[in-house]
Structure 1
Amino acid sequence: MNAQPHVVIEESPQQESRHSAGARTATAEFLLQHCPWVDADAVLLVVTELVANAVRHTAGWWRLHLTAGHDALVVRMDDSSPQPPVARKPDFTGGGGFGWHMVQQLAGRVEVRQLPYGKRVEATWTRPATTAC
């Protein structure tokens, strides 16, 4: 069996005070150990946005799952809401609307899937090809 490094971070509405910070810290540690090639700032911004959206738009649980393969990093956010993310026109007066656009720009690929218990947002970064000198 070819096991890939992974970590699962679970939170619930009762733990909102540390949701984003805990997910960011765990993600940063995971990236240092398993994905030194990835743009950590981009991944951390995406994780922050996915966590914030899950907390803001989901009345129930959410689960963040990170998997590192040799050629890719996959960040999955499962939550109890069946509603997919919706791109909104950015509001430069402080009303938001930047997050989903940012997720789509920073990740190499983004997919949203409906699940029997809610949805999954999956962001993937592919390891760049290395060239020999």
Structure 2
Amino acid sequence: MYQAAKEDGRQLLAGRSSMVSAVFAGDEKIADARDLALSFLADLPTVHGLPVSERVTDTVELVVSELVTNARKHAPGPYVLGLEACDGAVEVSVWDSQPTLPTIQAPDPHRIGRHGLEIVTTLCRSFEIHREPVGKRIKAAVALSDDWGTGIGGPQPM
């Protein structure tokens, strides 16, 4: 795993941006990606003065787990996990080399498996899939505020 951290001028709740990313070559475990996310979230209150609730921590950990699992399962080669706190949210980004875009299936309580993206879109403030020159990037934003509501279709921020 190769890891980098970055500070830039983007607006954040505390007026600063925080970002971390890592390249996973395939021999690391999905737990390594979750550990990176938990470490990133643990630093937000102390380094940047941003409150991170248990709900945010649990949600980001689940989103990272689902997106990284998909990258490992469906894409050849390495993948890149990025986490950034900006605009009142934690944005989780996963790039992989597979050019085929995933489809989010309609809810089906009788279907076994393939509920990951359905769960992610329900829990996140926004969700995007972008085709890249090589592969694709999936981004999902988890609101830092606990009064935001739930999911893309949930209540809007107050």
Name the TM-score class by shorter chain: 0.7 to 0.9
How far 1:71 moved relative to its partner? Answer: 1.9
Unaligned runs of 5+ in 2: 1-7, 10-15, 45-49, 148-158
Spell out the pairing of 1:1-133 with structure 2 (5 A cutoff).
2=9, 4-13=17-26, 15=27, 18-34=28-44, 36-37=51-52, 39-69=56-86, 71-88=88-105, 90=108, 92=110, 95-128=112-145
Contact kept, 8 Å, 2:59 with 2:142, in 1: the verdict is: no
Give secondary structure in 1 for the equivalent of 2:34: helix
The structure whose RCO (Cα within 8 Å, separation 6+) is larger is 1
Contact kept, 8 Å, 1:19 with 1:51, in 2: the verdict is: no
1:67, 1:27 → 2: CA distance?
10
How far 1:84 moved relative to its partner? Answer: 1.3
RMSD of the alignment, in Å? 2.3
Give secondary structure in 2 for the equivalent of 1:59: coil
Contact kept, 8 Å, 2:51 with 2:144, in 1: the verdict is: no
Relative to its length, the structure with more helix (as a share) is: 1
Contact kept, 8 Å, 1:67 with 1:73, in 2: the verdict is: yes
2:81, 2:43 → 1: CA distance?
18
Provide the TM-score with structure 1 as the length reference: 0.83
1:50, 1:24 → 2: CA distance?
11
Deviations 1:70-121 (A, max 9, x none): 622111111101111222465757x412111011111110000110011110
Unaligned runs of 5+ in 1: none
Deviations 1:28-65 (A, max 9, x none): 11112115335111111110000100000001221000
Provide the TM-score with structure 2 as the length reference: 0.70
Q: How many residues align structurally?
A: 126
Which residue matches 2:5?
A: none
Identity over aligned residues, as a percent? 30
